[in-house]
Amino acid sequence: RKEVEQDPGPFNVPEGATVAFNCTYSNSASQSFFWYRQDCRKEPKLLMSVYSSGNEDGRFTAQLNRASQYISLLIRDSKLSDSATYLCVVIRSNDYKLSFGAGTTVTVRA
């Protein structure tokens, strides 16, 4: 089983829609979680950290469910510019190994 798994999508949504997707992790010792965004042919860029209590940044909401070992990202009021691949990142507490998911592709259409 992969350490970090994501639904690859693609999620095709109209502008203004809400889209949400999860990322599951297998190691319960994981301690830090992030969402990155990667545009085509560009480097991944940090979108937001994921905190235990959940956190929001504008139209983006990240949640952590330790019991079920997943994190989620919700995008409200989707914009065309939200079209990208969203990568989840998990860091283990025992050895600080960082693992990337394979990414979830979101396409927002006009």
Partner 1 sequence: DTAVSQTPKYLVTQMGNDKSIKCEQNLGHDTMYWYKQDSKKFLKIMFSYNNKELIINETVPNRFSPKSPDKAHLNLHINSLELGDSAVYFCASSRGNEKLFFGSGTQLSVL
Residues from 23 through 62 that contact partner 1 (CB under 8 A): 32, 34, 36, 41-46, 49
Q: How many residues bind partner 1 (CB under 8 A)?
A: 20
Tell me if residue 57 falls in helix, strand or coil. Answer: strand
- Cβ 16 to partner 1 shortest distance, Å: 27
78 binds partner 1 (CB under 8 A): no
Residue 80 main-chain phi, psi, to 5 deg: -55, -35
- Cβ 5 to partner 1 shortest distance, Å: 12
80 binds partner 1 (CB under 8 A): no
Pick the closest to residue 74 from 17, 26, 31, 6 (CA basis). 17
